[in-house]
Structure 1
Amino acid sequence: MPKQILNVDNVRETVEQLQSEGYKPTFKRIIERLGGSYGTLTAMRKEHPEIFWSEERRVDSSSQLEKENFNLKMELTQIRFEARIDVLEREKLERDRLIDKLKKSFSDDMADMRDLWLDAVGQARATKTAKTLTIDLHDQYPEMTYKEINDRLFDEGFRTRSGGRIGSGQISKWINSK
């Protein structure tokens, strides 16, 4: 089809042809058939919207009531968006608060675990020292009874985890393990 001049009648005819063929009448398709430019079509659409949109899809710009209705709908949409943004911000603040709470809890748990580990290491060192002292006392004073060794260990500050005295069975194991 030879290229034609863009005018209202030609564009209207091409739009109707495209619609009857089942195509959406886009600027690109109109320009492919008729030639011309996007700028010309844009200007034509502003002057003659009835060519591009059916009556039910157009808002009559002379109708003040419809303009106000449209503006109210836009304001309502804006209010809804702002409300949703507020909700999302509150949810984010709550999530951040929970994350901070978890971080603090985790830090506290890690500090507790460190304290327990240090206690266990301290107990292991104390046990080793108590064992060494028990063996040394037995080697230096073979006549000392387990009760006397136990009293000496208690006086030196060696105790069980619960704060009691080290049992005779443990003292016997240490002495027999050398």
Structure 2
Amino acid sequence: MPKQILNVDNVRETVEQLQSEGYKPTFKRIIERLGGSYGTLTAMRKEHPEIFWSEERRVDSSFQLEKENFNLKMELTQIRFEARIEVLEREKLERDRLIDNLKKSFSDDMADMRDLWLDAVSQARLTKTAKTLTIELHNQYPEMTYREINERLFEEGFRTRSGGRIGGGQISKWINAES
């Protein structure tokens, strides 16, 4: 086919021929058939897009507005996203502070519980020792009264948790339980 001058009609006809032959109408194929330059075809495509693209593939003038609208929506989404990130970061800092406070409080409470436990163990040892001493005093000196045993325990340093004297009822229970 002899080279022809590039004009709208010739290009339209060549594009249709290429499509009917099953080829994609590229600039290279059009130039091979018609001659001319890429610059001429580029200018023609800008002026007459209907030649190169079907109606459904062409972009109309509202595309620019849609693109701008989309870009604005994306900007707004990004701003909202960044604001949400800031809120989440603040909430995380608040939670971290709360967790640190809870850890400190827990550590303090555990120390208090340990102290109470040690006091209870100490008191239990003292109680066992007081019970043993009470039974020994009663066995060695059966004539001792509960009041005298109580005085002796108090002198030895045995006291109730509140710091008072061990009661006669408790002394009686210890002695009667051993009998």
TM over 0.5: yes
Q: Tell me how far 1:107 sits from its aligned partner.
A: 2.3
Partner Cα separation in structure 2 for residue 44 and residue 65 of structure 1: 24
Partner Cα separation in structure 2 for residue 116 and residue 131 of structure 1: 22
Partner Cα separation in structure 2 for residue 23 and residue 169 of structure 1: 112
TM-score (norm 2): 0.59
Q: 1:173 to 1:75 in 2, by over 3 A?
A: same
TM-score (norm 1): 0.60
1:61-88 CA-partner distances (Å, limit 9, x unpaired): 8998887666554433322221111011
Unaligned runs of 5+ in 2: none
Q: Percent identity?
A: 93
**Larger Rg: 1 or 2?**
2
Q: Tell me how far 1:173 sits from its aligned partner.
A: 1.7
Moved more, 112-121 or 13-22: 13-22
1:140-172 CA-partner distances (Å, limit 9, x unpaired): 222222111111100111111221111111112
Moved more, 8-17 or 20-29: 20-29
Partner Cα separation in structure 2 for residue 126 and residue 3 of structure 1: 119
Work out the number of aligned pairs and report it. 178
Unaligned runs of 5+ in 1: none
Q: 1:158 to 1:100 in 2, by over 3 A?
A: same
Q: 1:131 to 1:68 in 2, by over 3 A?
A: same
- What SS class does the counterpart of residue 73 from structure 2 fall into? helix
Partner Cα separation in structure 2 for residue 15 and residue 70 of structure 1: 33
Partner Cα separation in structure 2 for residue 32 and residue 175 of structure 1: 123
1:8-54 CA-partner distances (Å, limit 9, x unpaired): 99999999999999999999999999999999999999999989999
Q: 1:123 to 1:90 in 2, by over 3 A?
A: same
